[in-house]
Structure 1
Amino acid sequence: MAAAAARRLLRPVSSASVSSTSRLFSSTASPPPHRSRNTNSPVAFDWSDDDADTSSAPPPSSTAKKPDLPPPYDPFSKKPAVAEPSDPTNLQEIFHRMRSEGLTDYAIKMFDGLSKDGLTHEALELFAIIKDKGTMPDVVAHTAVLEAYTSAGPVHWRDAVRTYDRMLASGVAPNAYTLTVLVKGLAASDRCEEAGKYLLEMLDRGMRPNVATYLAAFEAYVRLEKLEEGKVLLEAMKGKGFVPDEESVRRGTVKRGHVFHGVMNLLFGK
Protein backbone atom coordinates (compact mmCIF):
# COMPACT_ATOMS: atom_id res chain seq x y z
CA MET A 1 0.00 0.00 0.00
CA ALA A 2 1.23 3.50 -0.80
CA ALA A 3 0.14 4.77 2.61
CA ALA A 4 2.29 2.16 4.35
CA ALA A 5 5.26 3.01 2.15
CA ALA A 6 4.84 6.70 2.90
CA ARG A 7 4.67 6.02 6.63
CA ARG A 8 7.89 4.00 6.54
CA LEU A 9 9.66 6.79 4.70
CA LEU A 10 8.54 9.42 7.17
CA ARG A 11 8.99 7.46 10.39
CA PRO A 12 12.65 8.40 11.04
CA VAL A 13 11.93 12.13 11.08
CA SER A 14 8.55 12.21 12.78
CA SER A 15 9.81 12.77 16.32
CA ALA A 16 12.31 15.40 15.27
CA SER A 17 9.66 17.24 13.32
CA VAL A 18 7.61 17.83 16.47
CA SER A 19 10.35 19.75 18.25
CA SER A 20 10.97 21.86 15.16
CA THR A 21 7.29 22.73 14.73
CA SER A 22 6.17 22.87 18.34
CA ARG A 23 6.36 26.69 18.55
CA LEU A 24 5.15 28.11 15.22
CA PHE A 25 2.18 30.39 15.91
CA SER A 26 3.35 33.36 18.00
CA SER A 27 1.44 36.53 17.16
CA THR A 28 4.59 38.62 17.60
CA ALA A 29 7.05 36.61 15.55
CA SER A 30 7.80 37.32 11.91
CA PRO A 31 9.31 35.00 9.28
CA PRO A 32 12.87 35.52 8.07
CA PRO A 33 13.33 36.98 4.60
CA HIS A 34 13.63 34.75 1.54
CA ARG A 35 12.38 31.69 3.43
CA SER A 36 10.94 28.88 1.36
CA ARG A 37 7.18 28.62 1.58
CA ASN A 38 7.54 24.93 2.36
CA THR A 39 10.17 24.67 5.06
CA ASN A 40 10.18 25.17 8.79
CA SER A 41 10.76 28.57 10.35
CA PRO A 42 11.86 29.54 13.87
CA VAL A 43 8.63 31.39 14.59
CA ALA A 44 6.57 30.22 17.57
CA PHE A 45 3.64 27.85 17.48
CA ASP A 46 1.11 27.36 20.28
CA TRP A 47 -0.85 24.16 19.78
CA SER A 48 -3.71 25.78 21.68
CA ASP A 49 -4.22 28.74 23.97
CA ASP A 50 -4.22 26.50 27.05
CA ASP A 51 -1.81 23.78 26.00
CA ALA A 52 1.51 25.35 25.02
CA ASP A 53 4.86 23.66 24.55
CA THR A 54 8.23 25.33 25.12
CA SER A 55 10.46 23.11 23.00
CA SER A 56 12.63 25.02 20.53
CA ALA A 57 15.19 22.46 19.39
CA PRO A 58 16.32 23.05 15.79
CA PRO A 59 15.46 20.46 13.15
CA PRO A 60 18.16 17.87 12.48
CA SER A 61 20.25 18.02 9.37
CA SER A 62 20.02 15.17 6.91
CA THR A 63 22.78 13.81 4.70
CA ALA A 64 20.99 10.62 3.75
CA LYS A 65 20.79 9.56 0.13
CA LYS A 66 17.68 10.78 -1.63
CA PRO A 67 14.99 8.12 -1.10
CA ASP A 68 12.55 6.69 -3.57
CA LEU A 69 9.29 8.47 -2.84
CA PRO A 70 6.00 6.55 -2.93
CA PRO A 71 3.76 6.72 -5.98
CA PRO A 72 0.49 8.68 -5.87
CA TYR A 73 -2.27 7.10 -3.87
CA ASP A 74 -5.05 5.11 -5.50
CA PRO A 75 -7.73 7.78 -6.17
CA PHE A 76 -10.43 5.10 -6.10
CA SER A 77 -9.55 3.83 -2.64
CA LYS A 78 -12.27 4.37 -0.05
CA LYS A 79 -9.98 3.57 2.86
CA PRO A 80 -8.72 6.66 4.76
CA ALA A 81 -4.98 7.29 4.61
CA VAL A 82 -4.76 7.30 8.42
CA ALA A 83 -7.14 6.55 11.26
CA GLU A 84 -9.18 9.46 12.56
CA PRO A 85 -9.14 10.26 16.32
CA SER A 86 -11.79 8.40 18.31
CA ASP A 87 -12.98 11.67 19.88
CA PRO A 88 -12.33 14.67 17.60
CA THR A 89 -13.73 17.04 20.26
CA ASN A 90 -10.94 16.16 22.72
CA LEU A 91 -8.53 18.81 21.49
CA GLN A 92 -6.23 18.56 24.48
CA GLU A 93 -5.56 14.90 23.72
CA ILE A 94 -5.19 15.57 19.98
CA PHE A 95 -2.64 18.35 20.51
CA HIS A 96 -0.78 16.19 23.02
CA ARG A 97 -0.53 13.40 20.45
CA MET A 98 0.76 15.85 17.85
CA ARG A 99 3.63 16.76 20.19
CA SER A 100 4.38 13.27 21.44
CA GLU A 101 3.83 11.20 18.28
CA GLY A 102 4.74 13.71 15.57
CA LEU A 103 3.02 14.95 12.44
CA THR A 104 3.67 11.99 10.19
CA ASP A 105 0.01 11.00 9.90
CA TYR A 106 -0.96 14.56 9.01
CA ALA A 107 1.70 14.69 6.31
CA ILE A 108 0.36 11.41 4.89
CA LYS A 109 -3.20 12.79 4.85
CA MET A 110 -2.01 15.89 3.03
CA PHE A 111 -0.04 13.80 0.53
CA ASP A 112 -3.11 11.63 -0.02
CA GLY A 113 -5.42 14.61 -0.53
CA LEU A 114 -3.11 16.40 -2.94
CA SER A 115 -2.49 13.21 -4.94
CA LYS A 116 -6.18 12.40 -5.28
CA ASP A 117 -6.79 15.90 -6.61
CA GLY A 118 -4.15 15.34 -9.28
CA LEU A 119 -1.55 17.55 -7.58
CA THR A 120 1.09 14.85 -7.69
CA HIS A 121 4.04 17.18 -8.18
CA GLU A 122 3.12 19.25 -5.13
CA ALA A 123 2.61 16.08 -3.09
CA LEU A 124 6.02 14.68 -4.03
CA GLU A 125 7.66 18.04 -3.35
CA LEU A 126 6.19 17.89 0.16
CA PHE A 127 7.72 14.47 0.83
CA ALA A 128 11.04 15.47 -0.71
CA ILE A 129 11.35 18.30 1.82
CA ILE A 130 10.66 15.93 4.71
CA LYS A 131 13.15 13.30 3.60
CA ASP A 132 15.92 15.49 2.18
CA LYS A 133 15.94 18.19 4.85
CA GLY A 134 14.72 16.17 7.82
CA THR A 135 12.10 18.79 8.69
CA MET A 136 8.33 18.88 8.64
CA PRO A 137 6.98 21.63 6.35
CA ASP A 138 5.23 24.49 8.12
CA VAL A 139 2.13 23.95 6.01
CA VAL A 140 1.68 20.48 7.53
CA ALA A 141 1.87 21.75 11.11
CA HIS A 142 -0.51 24.67 10.57
CA THR A 143 -2.98 22.56 8.61
CA ALA A 144 -2.91 19.86 11.31
CA VAL A 145 -4.05 22.38 13.93
CA LEU A 146 -6.61 23.88 11.57
CA GLU A 147 -8.01 20.41 10.82
CA ALA A 148 -8.22 19.60 14.51
CA TYR A 149 -10.40 22.65 15.06
CA THR A 150 -12.67 22.01 12.08
CA SER A 151 -13.16 18.39 13.17
CA ALA A 152 -13.99 19.41 16.75
CA GLY A 153 -17.37 20.85 15.76
CA PRO A 154 -19.10 24.16 14.96
CA VAL A 155 -18.12 25.79 18.24
CA HIS A 156 -14.48 25.95 17.05
CA TRP A 157 -14.98 27.51 13.61
CA ARG A 158 -13.46 30.81 14.76
CA ASP A 159 -10.39 28.96 16.04
CA ALA A 160 -9.98 27.39 12.60
CA VAL A 161 -10.14 30.78 10.88
CA ARG A 162 -7.78 32.28 13.44
CA THR A 163 -5.31 29.45 12.84
CA TYR A 164 -5.45 30.10 9.11
CA ASP A 165 -4.89 33.83 9.64
CA ARG A 166 -1.87 33.11 11.84
CA MET A 167 -0.54 30.82 9.16
CA LEU A 168 -0.64 33.62 6.60
CA ALA A 169 0.82 36.12 9.08
CA SER A 170 3.76 33.74 9.61
CA GLY A 171 4.50 33.78 5.89
CA VAL A 172 3.36 30.19 5.28
CA ALA A 173 1.54 29.62 1.98
CA PRO A 174 -1.46 27.28 2.15
CA ASN A 175 -1.88 24.53 -0.39
CA ALA A 176 -5.08 23.15 -1.89
CA TYR A 177 -5.45 20.61 0.91
CA THR A 178 -5.28 23.35 3.56
CA LEU A 179 -8.07 25.37 1.96
CA THR A 180 -10.13 22.24 1.27
CA VAL A 181 -10.05 21.40 4.98
CA LEU A 182 -11.03 24.96 5.89
CA VAL A 183 -13.90 25.26 3.39
CA LYS A 184 -15.40 21.88 4.23
CA GLY A 185 -15.06 22.48 7.95
CA LEU A 186 -16.78 25.86 7.76
CA ALA A 187 -19.54 24.45 5.57
CA ALA A 188 -20.15 21.62 8.05
CA SER A 189 -20.45 24.27 10.76
CA ASP A 190 -23.11 26.10 8.67
CA ARG A 191 -20.75 29.03 8.10
CA CYS A 192 -21.61 29.18 4.41
CA GLU A 193 -20.53 32.78 3.85
CA GLU A 194 -17.09 32.09 5.32
CA ALA A 195 -16.82 28.88 3.30
CA GLY A 196 -17.67 30.85 0.16
CA LYS A 197 -15.01 33.42 0.97
CA TYR A 198 -12.30 30.76 1.03
CA LEU A 199 -13.61 29.08 -2.11
CA LEU A 200 -12.99 32.38 -3.87
CA GLU A 201 -9.55 32.56 -2.29
CA MET A 202 -8.75 29.13 -3.70
CA LEU A 203 -9.59 30.37 -7.19
CA ASP A 204 -7.60 33.57 -6.64
CA ARG A 205 -4.60 31.41 -5.75
CA GLY A 206 -4.96 29.42 -8.94
CA MET A 207 -6.35 26.35 -7.16
CA ARG A 208 -9.24 24.31 -8.48
CA PRO A 209 -11.60 23.21 -5.69
CA ASN A 210 -12.65 19.59 -6.04
CA VAL A 211 -16.32 18.69 -6.24
CA ALA A 212 -16.57 17.62 -2.59
CA THR A 213 -15.26 21.01 -1.50
CA TYR A 214 -17.52 23.30 -3.50
CA LEU A 215 -20.45 20.95 -3.03
CA ALA A 216 -20.07 21.18 0.75
CA ALA A 217 -20.32 24.96 0.56
CA PHE A 218 -23.34 25.06 -1.73
CA GLU A 219 -25.13 22.39 0.30
CA ALA A 220 -24.70 24.66 3.32
CA TYR A 221 -26.34 27.53 1.44
CA VAL A 222 -29.28 25.27 0.59
CA ARG A 223 -29.61 23.92 4.15
CA LEU A 224 -29.72 27.45 5.51
CA GLU A 225 -32.11 28.57 2.75
CA LYS A 226 -29.71 31.23 1.54
CA LEU A 227 -30.18 30.50 -2.15
CA GLU A 228 -29.76 34.08 -3.34
CA GLU A 229 -26.45 34.38 -1.50
CA GLY A 230 -25.42 31.06 -3.01
CA LYS A 231 -26.19 32.35 -6.49
CA VAL A 232 -24.06 35.42 -5.85
CA LEU A 233 -21.17 33.17 -4.84
CA LEU A 234 -21.64 30.99 -7.92
CA GLU A 235 -21.51 33.99 -10.24
CA ALA A 236 -18.40 35.29 -8.50
CA MET A 237 -16.74 31.90 -8.91
CA LYS A 238 -17.72 31.69 -12.57
CA GLY A 239 -16.15 35.11 -13.06
CA LYS A 240 -12.88 33.55 -11.93
CA GLY A 241 -13.15 30.67 -14.40
CA PHE A 242 -15.03 28.12 -12.28
CA VAL A 243 -17.37 25.70 -14.04
CA PRO A 244 -19.33 23.16 -11.95
CA ASP A 245 -19.40 19.60 -13.27
CA GLU A 246 -22.96 18.28 -13.26
CA GLU A 247 -22.10 14.59 -13.42
CA SER A 248 -19.56 14.93 -10.60
CA VAL A 249 -22.10 16.80 -8.48
CA ARG A 250 -24.69 14.07 -9.05
CA ARG A 251 -22.17 11.42 -7.97
CA GLY A 252 -20.99 13.47 -5.00
CA THR A 253 -24.42 14.19 -3.58
CA VAL A 254 -25.50 11.09 -1.69
CA LYS A 255 -28.87 12.25 -0.39
CA ARG A 256 -31.56 12.65 -3.03
CA GLY A 257 -33.83 14.91 -1.04
CA HIS A 258 -34.44 18.63 -0.52
CA VAL A 259 -30.74 19.51 -0.39
CA PHE A 260 -29.93 17.60 -3.56
CA HIS A 261 -32.70 19.28 -5.57
CA GLY A 262 -31.76 22.65 -4.12
CA VAL A 263 -28.11 22.24 -5.10
CA MET A 264 -28.98 21.09 -8.62
CA ASN A 265 -31.28 24.07 -9.04
CA LEU A 266 -28.70 26.48 -7.64
CA LEU A 267 -25.79 25.22 -9.73
CA PHE A 268 -27.51 24.18 -12.95
CA GLY A 269 -31.05 25.65 -12.89
CA LYS A 270 -32.60 22.18 -12.71
Structure 2
Amino acid sequence: MATVAARRLLRPTSFTALSSARRFLSSNASPPPNRSSNTNSPVSFDWSDDEENPSAPPPTTPAKNPALPPPYDPFSKKPVVADPADPTNLQEIFHRMRTEGLADYAIKMFDGLSKDGLTHEALALFSVIKDKGAMPDVVAHTAVLEAYANAGPGHWRDAVRTYNRMLSTGVAPNAYTLAVLVKGLGASDRCAEAGKYLLDMLDRGMRPNVATCLAAFEAHVRMEKVEEGKLLLEEMKKKGFTLDEEAVRSSTVKRGHEYAKMTAIECLRCPC
Protein backbone atom coordinates (compact mmCIF):
# COMPACT_ATOMS: atom_id res chain seq x y z
CA MET A 1 0.00 0.00 0.00
CA ALA A 2 2.93 2.33 0.67
CA THR A 3 4.07 1.88 -2.91
CA VAL A 4 0.58 2.68 -4.14
CA ALA A 5 0.68 5.94 -2.21
CA ALA A 6 4.06 6.81 -3.69
CA ARG A 7 2.86 6.06 -7.19
CA ARG A 8 -0.15 8.29 -6.64
CA LEU A 9 2.14 11.06 -5.43
CA LEU A 10 4.39 10.95 -8.47
CA ARG A 11 1.85 9.86 -11.07
CA PRO A 12 -1.40 11.74 -10.44
CA THR A 13 -4.23 11.50 -12.92
CA SER A 14 -6.16 14.73 -12.37
CA PHE A 15 -5.21 17.84 -14.31
CA THR A 16 -4.48 19.83 -11.14
CA ALA A 17 -2.34 17.09 -9.64
CA LEU A 18 -0.58 16.52 -12.95
CA SER A 19 0.32 20.19 -13.18
CA SER A 20 1.61 20.09 -9.60
CA ALA A 21 3.72 17.01 -10.26
CA ARG A 22 5.20 18.52 -13.39
CA ARG A 23 5.99 21.68 -11.48
CA PHE A 24 8.25 19.92 -8.97
CA LEU A 25 9.64 17.26 -11.33
CA SER A 26 10.48 19.67 -14.15
CA SER A 27 13.85 21.33 -14.46
CA ASN A 28 12.05 24.53 -15.38
CA ALA A 29 10.62 24.90 -11.90
CA SER A 30 12.38 27.46 -9.76
CA PRO A 31 13.97 26.04 -6.61
CA PRO A 32 12.00 26.85 -3.49
CA PRO A 33 13.42 29.24 -0.86
CA ASN A 34 16.01 27.73 1.51
CA ARG A 35 16.39 24.74 -0.76
CA SER A 36 17.83 21.71 1.02
CA SER A 37 21.36 20.69 0.11
CA ASN A 38 20.22 17.11 -0.50
CA THR A 39 18.35 17.89 -3.67
CA ASN A 40 19.80 17.53 -7.12
CA SER A 41 21.36 20.29 -9.19
CA PRO A 42 22.56 20.44 -12.81
CA VAL A 43 26.17 20.03 -11.69
CA SER A 44 25.56 16.83 -9.74
CA PHE A 45 27.25 14.73 -12.39
CA ASP A 46 30.18 16.87 -13.51
CA TRP A 47 32.96 14.34 -14.11
CA SER A 48 35.42 16.80 -15.64
CA ASP A 49 37.99 16.42 -12.85
CA ASP A 50 38.09 12.62 -12.94
CA GLU A 51 41.23 10.95 -14.22
CA GLU A 52 39.16 8.60 -16.30
CA ASN A 53 35.93 9.45 -18.01
CA PRO A 54 33.12 6.86 -18.00
CA SER A 55 32.35 5.26 -21.34
CA ALA A 56 28.93 6.89 -21.43
CA PRO A 57 28.47 10.28 -19.73
CA PRO A 58 25.67 10.49 -17.16
CA PRO A 59 22.96 13.14 -17.51
CA THR A 60 24.06 16.67 -16.72
CA THR A 61 20.62 18.26 -16.54
CA PRO A 62 17.31 17.18 -15.04
CA ALA A 63 14.34 16.27 -17.20
CA LYS A 64 12.07 18.79 -18.85
CA ASN A 65 8.31 18.25 -18.82
CA PRO A 66 8.44 14.55 -17.82
CA ALA A 67 5.79 12.36 -19.39
CA LEU A 68 3.94 10.44 -16.70
CA PRO A 69 3.20 6.73 -17.38
CA PRO A 70 -0.26 5.16 -16.87
CA PRO A 71 -1.60 4.87 -13.30
CA TYR A 72 -0.07 2.19 -11.08
CA ASP A 73 -1.91 -1.15 -10.94
CA PRO A 74 -1.45 -2.65 -7.45
CA PHE A 75 -2.73 -6.05 -8.66
CA SER A 76 -0.19 -6.40 -11.44
CA LYS A 77 2.57 -8.98 -10.97
CA LYS A 78 4.95 -6.93 -13.08
CA PRO A 79 7.81 -5.04 -11.38
CA VAL A 80 6.95 -1.67 -9.89
CA VAL A 81 9.00 -0.09 -12.67
CA ALA A 82 9.97 -1.91 -15.85
CA ASP A 83 13.70 -2.38 -16.47
CA PRO A 84 15.14 -0.95 -19.69
CA ALA A 85 14.90 -3.25 -22.70
CA ASP A 86 18.67 -3.02 -23.24
CA PRO A 87 20.54 -2.21 -19.99
CA THR A 88 23.81 -1.93 -21.93
CA ASN A 89 22.53 1.01 -23.98
CA LEU A 90 23.65 3.69 -21.54
CA GLN A 91 23.23 6.53 -24.02
CA GLU A 92 19.53 5.73 -24.34
CA ILE A 93 19.09 5.25 -20.59
CA PHE A 94 20.73 8.57 -19.75
CA HIS A 95 18.74 10.27 -22.50
CA ARG A 96 15.52 9.02 -20.92
CA MET A 97 16.67 10.30 -17.53
CA ARG A 98 17.09 13.75 -19.05
CA THR A 99 13.81 13.77 -20.95
CA GLU A 100 11.49 11.71 -18.73
CA GLY A 101 12.86 12.51 -15.30
CA LEU A 102 13.66 10.40 -12.25
CA ALA A 103 10.17 9.55 -11.01
CA ASP A 104 10.56 5.87 -11.90
CA TYR A 105 13.85 5.66 -10.02
CA ALA A 106 12.34 7.36 -6.98
CA ILE A 107 9.49 4.84 -7.00
CA LYS A 108 11.94 1.91 -7.26
CA MET A 109 13.90 3.26 -4.32
CA PHE A 110 10.73 3.82 -2.31
CA ASP A 111 9.56 0.28 -3.06
CA GLY A 112 12.95 -1.25 -2.21
CA LEU A 113 13.22 0.58 1.09
CA SER A 114 9.64 -0.30 2.01
CA LYS A 115 10.14 -4.01 1.29
CA ASP A 116 13.13 -4.02 3.62
CA GLY A 117 11.01 -2.54 6.39
CA LEU A 118 12.50 0.95 6.04
CA THR A 119 9.12 2.61 5.59
CA HIS A 120 10.03 5.67 7.65
CA GLU A 121 13.09 6.33 5.49
CA ALA A 122 11.02 5.76 2.35
CA LEU A 123 8.39 8.26 3.45
CA ALA A 124 11.07 10.78 4.41
CA LEU A 125 12.43 10.48 0.89
CA PHE A 126 9.09 11.42 -0.62
CA SER A 127 8.44 14.19 1.86
CA VAL A 128 11.44 15.98 0.30
CA ILE A 129 9.82 15.66 -3.13
CA LYS A 130 6.43 16.75 -1.90
CA ASP A 131 7.44 19.51 0.52
CA LYS A 132 10.63 20.88 -1.07
CA GLY A 133 9.50 20.49 -4.68
CA ALA A 134 12.74 18.82 -5.81
CA MET A 135 14.14 15.35 -6.39
CA PRO A 136 16.56 14.23 -3.65
CA ASP A 137 20.18 13.93 -4.73
CA VAL A 138 20.30 10.36 -3.44
CA VAL A 139 17.75 9.38 -6.11
CA ALA A 140 19.68 11.08 -8.92
CA HIS A 141 23.05 9.60 -7.97
CA THR A 142 21.61 6.14 -7.36
CA ALA A 143 19.85 6.21 -10.73
CA VAL A 144 23.18 6.78 -12.50
CA LEU A 145 24.90 4.19 -10.30
CA GLU A 146 22.18 1.65 -11.05
CA ALA A 147 22.48 2.25 -14.78
CA TYR A 148 26.18 1.45 -14.65
CA ALA A 149 25.65 -1.52 -12.32
CA ASN A 150 23.12 -3.06 -14.71
CA ALA A 151 25.16 -2.36 -17.84
CA GLY A 152 27.50 -5.32 -17.32
CA PRO A 153 30.97 -6.15 -15.94
CA GLY A 154 32.66 -3.55 -18.11
CA HIS A 155 31.08 -0.72 -16.13
CA TRP A 156 31.74 -1.71 -12.52
CA ARG A 157 34.40 1.00 -12.18
CA ASP A 158 31.88 3.60 -13.35
CA ALA A 159 29.45 2.39 -10.67
CA VAL A 160 32.10 2.68 -7.95
CA ARG A 161 33.21 6.07 -9.30
CA THR A 162 29.61 7.32 -9.14
CA TYR A 163 29.32 6.13 -5.55
CA ASN A 164 32.58 7.85 -4.56
CA ARG A 165 31.50 11.07 -6.27
CA MET A 166 28.22 10.83 -4.40
CA LEU A 167 30.11 10.73 -1.09
CA SER A 168 32.50 13.52 -2.08
CA THR A 169 29.60 15.86 -2.80
CA GLY A 170 28.10 15.22 0.63
CA VAL A 171 25.19 13.03 -0.48
CA ALA A 172 24.51 10.21 1.98
CA PRO A 173 23.62 6.83 0.43
CA ASN A 174 20.74 4.79 1.76
CA ALA A 175 20.30 1.02 2.00
CA TYR A 176 18.87 0.84 -1.52
CA THR A 177 21.91 2.65 -2.96
CA LEU A 178 24.38 0.24 -1.39
CA ALA A 179 22.27 -2.81 -2.23
CA VAL A 180 22.34 -1.76 -5.90
CA LEU A 181 26.12 -1.32 -5.74
CA VAL A 182 26.77 -4.67 -4.01
CA LYS A 183 24.50 -6.57 -6.39
CA GLY A 184 26.08 -4.91 -9.42
CA LEU A 185 29.60 -5.72 -8.23
CA GLY A 186 28.58 -9.27 -7.42
CA ALA A 187 27.09 -9.77 -10.87
CA SER A 188 30.37 -8.45 -12.33
CA ASP A 189 32.33 -11.05 -10.28
CA ARG A 190 34.04 -8.30 -8.30
CA CYS A 191 33.73 -10.31 -5.09
CA ALA A 192 36.28 -8.34 -3.06
CA GLU A 193 34.60 -5.03 -3.91
CA ALA A 194 31.13 -6.48 -3.25
CA GLY A 195 32.31 -7.63 0.18
CA LYS A 196 33.84 -4.23 0.90
CA TYR A 197 30.59 -2.38 0.34
CA LEU A 198 28.60 -5.05 2.16
CA LEU A 199 30.71 -4.23 5.22
CA ASP A 200 30.23 -0.54 4.45
CA MET A 201 26.49 -1.08 4.84
CA LEU A 202 27.03 -2.50 8.32
CA ASP A 203 29.39 0.33 9.28
CA ARG A 204 26.63 2.74 8.32
CA GLY A 205 24.13 0.97 10.55
CA MET A 206 22.28 -0.66 7.63
CA ARG A 207 21.13 -4.27 7.56
CA PRO A 208 21.61 -5.84 4.11
CA ASN A 209 18.82 -8.15 3.01
CA VAL A 210 19.34 -11.77 1.99
CA ALA A 211 19.42 -11.02 -1.75
CA THR A 212 22.19 -8.47 -1.28
CA CYS A 213 24.26 -10.83 0.88
CA LEU A 214 23.86 -13.73 -1.52
CA ALA A 215 24.92 -11.55 -4.46
CA ALA A 216 28.30 -11.11 -2.76
CA PHE A 217 28.59 -14.77 -1.72
CA GLU A 218 27.64 -16.04 -5.18
CA ALA A 219 30.44 -13.96 -6.65
CA HIS A 220 32.92 -15.55 -4.24
CA VAL A 221 31.73 -19.02 -5.24
CA ARG A 222 31.89 -18.31 -8.98
CA MET A 223 35.43 -16.99 -8.61
CA GLU A 224 36.37 -20.03 -6.48
CA LYS A 225 37.07 -17.85 -3.46
CA VAL A 226 34.91 -19.68 -0.97
CA GLU A 227 37.36 -19.23 1.89
CA GLU A 228 37.36 -15.46 1.32
CA GLY A 229 33.56 -15.61 1.36
CA LYS A 230 33.63 -17.37 4.71
CA LEU A 231 35.99 -14.73 6.08
CA LEU A 232 33.60 -12.05 4.85
CA LEU A 233 30.71 -13.63 6.73
CA GLU A 234 32.86 -13.91 9.84
CA GLU A 235 33.71 -10.21 9.57
CA MET A 236 30.00 -9.46 9.27
CA LYS A 237 29.37 -11.49 12.43
CA LYS A 238 31.98 -9.45 14.28
CA LYS A 239 30.08 -6.33 13.34
CA GLY A 240 26.96 -7.79 14.95
CA PHE A 241 25.22 -8.97 11.79
CA THR A 242 23.44 -12.31 11.80
CA LEU A 243 22.15 -13.74 8.55
CA ASP A 244 18.97 -15.73 9.15
CA GLU A 245 19.55 -19.31 8.01
CA GLU A 246 15.89 -19.90 7.23
CA ALA A 247 15.75 -16.72 5.14
CA VAL A 248 18.80 -17.88 3.20
CA ARG A 249 17.36 -21.35 2.71
CA SER A 250 14.03 -20.05 1.41
CA SER A 251 15.50 -17.37 -0.82
CA THR A 252 15.56 -17.64 -4.60
CA VAL A 253 18.99 -17.87 -6.20
CA LYS A 254 20.07 -18.07 -9.78
CA ARG A 255 20.20 -21.49 -11.32
CA GLY A 256 23.53 -23.18 -10.65
CA HIS A 257 24.29 -21.01 -7.60
CA GLU A 258 22.72 -23.25 -4.99
CA TYR A 259 26.20 -23.99 -3.68
CA ALA A 260 26.54 -20.36 -2.65
CA LYS A 261 23.45 -20.69 -0.52
CA MET A 262 24.71 -23.91 1.06
CA THR A 263 28.10 -22.30 1.72
CA ALA A 264 26.42 -19.40 3.51
CA ILE A 265 24.36 -21.83 5.63
CA GLU A 266 27.51 -23.78 6.46
CA CYS A 267 29.16 -20.57 7.64
CA LEU A 268 26.11 -19.66 9.70
CA ARG A 269 26.38 -22.95 11.56
CA CYS A 270 30.06 -22.40 12.31
CA PRO A 271 30.48 -21.90 16.11
CA CYS A 272 33.49 -19.59 15.66
Normalising by the smaller structure, the TM-score range is 0.7 to 0.9
Cross-structure match for 1:45 = 45
Q: Post-superposition shift, 1:8?
A: 3.4
Q: Post-superposition shift, 1:50?
A: 4.9
Inter-CA distance 216–118: structure 2 relative to 1 (3 Å threshold): same
Amino acid at match of 1:6: A
Deviations 1:75-110 (A, max 9, x none): xx9641111111111000000000000000000000
Q: Post-superposition shift, 1:225?
A: 1.4
Question: How many pairs align?
Answer: 240
Cross-structure match for 2:9 = 9
Inter-CA distance 159–56: structure 2 relative to 1 (3 Å threshold): closer
Residue 19 (structure 1) aligned to one of 23, 27, 39 = 27
Inter-CA distance 98–266: structure 2 relative to 1 (3 Å threshold): same
Cross-structure match for 2:17 = none
Note if contact 2:10-2:21 (Cα within 8 Å) is conserved in structure 1: yes
Inter-CA distance 204–54: structure 2 relative to 1 (3 Å threshold): closer
With structure 2 as the length reference, what TM-score do the two structures score? 0.78
Cross-structure match for 1:239 = 238
Inter-CA distance 123–96: structure 2 relative to 1 (3 Å threshold): same
Cross-structure match for 1:265 = 266
Deviations 1:181-220 (A, max 9, x none): 0001101111111000001110000000011111111121
Note if contact 1:38-1:126 (Cα within 8 Å) is conserved in structure 2: no
Identical-residue share of aligned pairs (%): 72
Q: Post-superposition shift, 1:236?
A: 1.2
Unaligned ranges ≥5, structure 2:
12-19, 29-33, 48-53, 64-73
Cross-structure match for 2:117 = 118
Q: Distance in 2 between matches of 1:188 and 1:15?
A: 38
With structure 1 as the length reference, what TM-score do the two structures score? 0.79
Note if contact 1:153-1:189 (Cα within 8 Å) is conserved in structure 2: yes
Cross-structure match for 2:161 = 162
Note if contact 2:35-2:132 (Cα within 8 Å) is conserved in structure 1: no
- Over the aligned positions, Cα root-mean-square deviation in angstroms equals 3.0
Cross-structure match for 1:68 = none
Instruction: Please state whether the residue corresponding to 2:27 is helix, strand or coil.
Output: helix
Amino acid at match of 1:258: Y
Inter-CA distance 19–259: structure 2 relative to 1 (3 Å threshold): same
Cross-structure match for 1:221 = 220
Unaligned ranges ≥5, structure 1:
21-33, 58-73
